[in-house]
């Protein structure tokens, strides 16, 4: 089970390349290093199961989560490319894709975001992040967030499955979000829906969450 991960949220201009590289080294290359260690023996034995804790943000980018989503997209692409070869050796690969999870990890991330310096971006972007994104994120976590124990139960079901799924989303509330992307390959439907949700109907969104 690959579960190592770090988070990052905020305006792109305010994030250093060093921090971005550190995130990718943990979230993506950490997984690559693990798979390189365990896959050869699994192939020799012609049996095994690699379970990767990904994220719904590996399927759908979220505003102000550019680098974190990029790392999870990399995880998804890596596993999707590897799974067919692995199956030839009777090795299963499963991606567990949670939405928000209520942990100290997330709490620390948002506490740091509230204290951060946003002078390197323009005032409008800083205002959108602090007064729209952070406020809505707290409502999302309190309304839709899962416990670590819930994610563990989902992961156990994937591990024990007779035919392990390649993808398993733990929160049905995010299924429509992922479906939008597949409904319109041009991306227009998804982009328009998210733009309206963030900038036109944010009050309705917050009311619905509460």
- The residues that are catalytic are 68
CB 63 within 8 A of CB 133: yes
What span, in angstroms and rounded, lies between the C-alpha atoms of 180 and 49? 30
Identify any residues that bridge with 101 across adjacent strands, giving them in sequence order. 146
Quick one: three-class SS letters along 103-164?
A: CHHHHHHHHHHHHCCCCCCCHHHHHHHHHHHHHHHHHHHHHHCECHHHHHHHHHHHHHCCCC
């Amino acid at each position: 089970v690959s579960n190592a991960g770090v988070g990052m949220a905020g305006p792109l201009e305010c994030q250093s390349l060093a921090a971005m590289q550190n995130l990718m080294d943990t979230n993506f290359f950490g997984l690559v290093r693990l798979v390189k260690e365990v896959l050869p023996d699994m192939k020799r034995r012609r049996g095994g199961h690699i379970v990767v804790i990904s994220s719904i943000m590996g399927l759908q980018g979220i505003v102000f989560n550019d680098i974190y989503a990029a790392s999870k997209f990399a995880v998804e692409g890596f596993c999707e490319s590897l799974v067919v070869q692995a199956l030839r050796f009777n090795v299963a690969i499963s991606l567990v894709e949670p939405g928000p999870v209520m942990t100290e990890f997330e709490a620390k991330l948002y506490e740091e975001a509230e204290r951060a310096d946003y002078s390197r971006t323009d005032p409008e972007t800083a205002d959108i992040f602090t007064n729209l994104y952070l406020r809505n994120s707290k409502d999302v976590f309190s309304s839709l967030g899962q416990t670590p124990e819930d994610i563990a139960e989902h992961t156990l079901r994937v591990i024990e499955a007779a035919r392990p799924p390649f993808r398993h989303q733990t929160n049905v509330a995010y299924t429509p979000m992922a479906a939008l992307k597949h409904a319109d390959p041009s991306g227009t439907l998804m982009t328009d829906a998210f733009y309206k949700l963030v900038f036109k109907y944010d009050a309705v969104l917050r009311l619905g969450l509460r």
